[in-house]
Amino acid sequence: MIKNRRMLAPLLIGTALAASCCEGKNPDPAKVDPPVVETPDEAKVGSVLPAWKEGYLDIHFINGGRGESTYCIFPDGTTMLIDAAGAPKKNEMDPPGVAPKPSENISSGQVIVNYINHFMPAEAGGKIDYFLATHYHSDHIGAVTTKTYTIPMTVGLGFYDNGIGAVGTRIPLMKVIDRGDSKDRPSTDTYPSSTVYNNYLSFIDWSTKKYGTTREKMRVGYNDQIVMKKNAGDYPSFKVMNIAANGDVWTGSGNESSSEIPSTKELLANYLDNLPSGNILSCVIKISYGKFDYFTGGDIQYSGRSTYSWRDIEAPIARVTGRVEAMKACHHATSNTNSDALLSALKPDVVLGGVWRSVQPNAATIKRMYTANSRMDIFLTAIGDDAKSELTSYMSKFGSIEGHYVIRVNKDGQYKVYTLDDTNEKYLVKKISGPYKSE
């Protein structure tokens, strides 16, 4: 039964969709369909999700309950990991976290490693081509030991066995991309120094010596920094656009970008007591494959815009991003993020929400999402205990409220969302949503 305008009846393999372009999404004459590719074996509820095959774009939203990690397999087998969750345990924070998955007996870093090792294609060669650190927070790159909690150290390597360190010592990360040095635009979480950031640097130094890892600052306004490394010529419609990083935002014209928050000099001179959160310095990208577009922007937000307008980094991003088919909810769908302006520009049909604290997701944020697109399907990794009472009216609308999620996109722009069981590491399919149509 067709659910709404986004879903199609199953089509014969190789049948092309009629070219179309929805309002707010600029047509791109350079976009052409990739070559015909073989379809992965049909997934079935109760069975393990079939492996990726060349020609498909896979976006794996991994849930360990400690933050966000997204593993992407490009159509040619190039791979990218966006963030490596490693926040403290449930009862070591205020407000507290959600239950770890699959259990408290496995670290979030090992959850990510085991998941990737299961789904990594042979074409990847046992490594990850790109690691994108959206920003320098523990739920995205890994926590370190404090007076409140203890994180295990690696043996003799000089950094913590958590987050990026836990992943990168087990699976080589070949290129790391981030917003740049923390002193270039200081934030409340990195100024004057940050043990989380320093630990990140220690890992990169080790990985550079061990595997030849390189580190680059995101080049805002460019689509040639994150590229396919194997058969790019076979898939000319695939690209990754760098939309924003470190407070700089693409203007939408060529490779131009504009600085949307005060410079480092201005921040230290005039805003030392009101430095920006590292959230608004997050790296933001859009992944495109044919007619399909996916937006992911770390923890961007608009918190504090009534005091300083530049704290709303979502506003300039909204002006250039265009409509997308799917997005990762910004800042775990908490309050003061996913603004009306941004959601009205994106109008996604599918939203993936990485929940890891008891106050997430925020009811007002969820309302804004459904206002932007009433037929939107929202898939949450969890619902925080403190948020549940405010979300009762939405429970029946959510696509799912627990699990790992996989968006699998075929050459025609059709895609499905697979909900995988996160209570163990068998990765059985619990639900299949779609197919959805890209426009």
Domains of the chain: 57-436 (3.60.15.10)
SS3 at position 173? strand
Residues contacting 70, CB < 8 A, separation 6+: 59, 60, 61, 62, 81, 82, 83, 296, 328
Residues contacting 96, CB < 8 A, separation 6+: 90, 357, 358, 385
Query: Which residues face 214 on adjacent strands?
Result: 175
R_g over Cα of the chain? 20
SS3 at position 243? strand
What pLDDT score does 278 carry? 98
What pLDDT score does 91 carry? 83
- pTM attached to this predicted model: 0.91
What pLDDT score does 362 carry? 98
CA distance 56 to 53: 6
Which segments in the chain show pLDDT lower than 50?
Answer: 1-32, 34-37
